[in-house]
Chain A
Amino acid sequence: MIAAARCIVVRDLLLALRRRSDVATALLFFVIVASLFPLGVGAEPNLLRAVAPGVIWVAALLSTMLSLGRLFAADHADGTLEQMLLGAAPLGVVVAAKSFAHWLAAGLPLVAIAPVIALQYDLPASLYGVLALSLLLGTPVLSLIGAIGAALTLGLRGGGVLLSLLVLPLYVPVLIIGAGSVDMAAAGLAPAGQLQLLAAMLVVAAAFAPWAIAAALRISTE
């Protein structure tokens, strides 16, 4: 089971490496969206400092959502997905591994780039740690929940936009707690509570999402 999981993670990462542009595009989108907000709301430093956590989190949300499309699409197109469904490894393990690989390629880089965006917004350096930690805990949840949506909308017309409509309401708690943790730290209070909530969400998502993703895949491919 572990071997199968490792195999899938390595394979997906290799594929992501070969299609570097897909990965890079999503990350570039993250940076562009975050850069658009000051252009829209004005460059007043106090305002930017106040909205920075929320903007970075929303940009991370949107970037993750953009990259969800390729989670199952390529495998579905060339028949690999069917093999996974029929294979010996439990489907829950397979989709968990795929989600993990997706997070490594799409979510983890966001954690790395976020402090650079925070620099643009003149967020105090003391908050970089909380920001990175909140994203570190939150982006896997986004990948897991998003994978449910990706599995449900597999092969549908209007897929990308439909996926967003389905998944964004489910993302709201992660967004609120994640951005809230940085806001708490900015106000001088301890963000531990929110971070622990994020960790709890991650545990629950990791436990239950694979089952839902597997069920959704079966529904979509029958």
Chain B
Amino acid sequence: MSATVKWFWFASPQTFFPLAGTIARWCAIAAALLAAAGLYVGFFVAPTDAQQGEAYRIIFIHVPAAWMSMFLYVVMAFWAAIGLAFNTRLSGMMASGIAPTGALFTFIALWTGALWGRPTWGAYWVWDARLTSELILLFLYLGFMALQAAIDDPRRADRAGALLAIVGAVNVPIIYYSVQWWNTLHQGASVSLTRAPSMASAMLAGMVLMALAFWLYSIAAALARVRCIILERE
């Protein structure tokens, strides 16, 4: 009995509110420090790439942003599922809080991908599998946000969005593999999209540091947004 109480203790928005604030503040500071470290490594430690020159340094934002965009969608769908299963208000708020940040990182991944593609493949946009899947992921995020915005009742908005997020999450692997198949079939611009060919350890370190920085930033932003949602609703 006490075990159940403890588990759901922080499921109440009131109790979660101050905790969210504390976590958000610490994550924000850590994110800034990690970003500084990552950028330092990325620009001053990692060597120039043999084939792509300095243009490859976009990778330190592009890849972590893409990782985050996918990771955040899964987390969003997770909280959505918890909210539907246990009927907890806070879970739905968490999903709503994550969505805009996830959409933002998806946009950043697409934007930096385009600017990276121009000097390396010669075109701002290529219909390669990953970029196309990322574009569809952006549509999934925006659809979620649009649906929630169109529903006035917060409970219905949470639950409708949750169902959409889960259906979307189930579809993401299917979408990715069908796009990948489609891309190999229509190999128009058959450039092999890879990161910098040989991943020097400094490059990898830079990417990982930036990824961690983005992750902690996402936590801070999402929790800050959840706090706003709690204030607005309760």
Contact = CB atoms under 8 A, between A and B. Distances in A.
A156 B150 contact: yes
Interface residues of A, number: 25
What's the interface size class on B, roughly?
A: 20 to 34
A219 B168 CA distance: 17
Contacts of B163: 148, 152, 212, 215-216, 219
A176 B182 contact: yes
Contacts of A148: 163, 167
Interface stretch (B34-42, B170-178, B190-198): B170-178
A60 B127 CA distance: 23
B185 interface: yes
Interface in A181-213: 183-184, 212
Interface residues of chain A: helix, strand, loop or mixed (majority): helix
A169 B182 contact: no
Interface residues of chain B: helix, strand, loop or mixed (majority): helix
A84 B142 CA distance: 32
Interface string B117-142: 00000000000000000001001101
Contacts of A215: 84, 163
B59 to A, nearest CB: 27
Interface in A149-168: 152-153, 156-158, 162, 165-166, 168
Given A172-B175, A216-B163, A183 B147 contact: no
Shortest beta-carbon contacts, A-B, top 7: A173-B178, A169-B139, A166-B143, A219-B159, A176-B178, A176-B182, A156-B150
Interface of B: 84, 136, 139-140, 142-143, 146-147, 150-151, 155-156, 159-160, 163-164, 167-168, 171, 174-175, 178-179, 181-182, 185
Interface of A: 148, 152-153, 156-158, 162, 165-166, 168-170, 172-173, 176-177, 180, 183-184, 212, 215-216, 219-220, 222
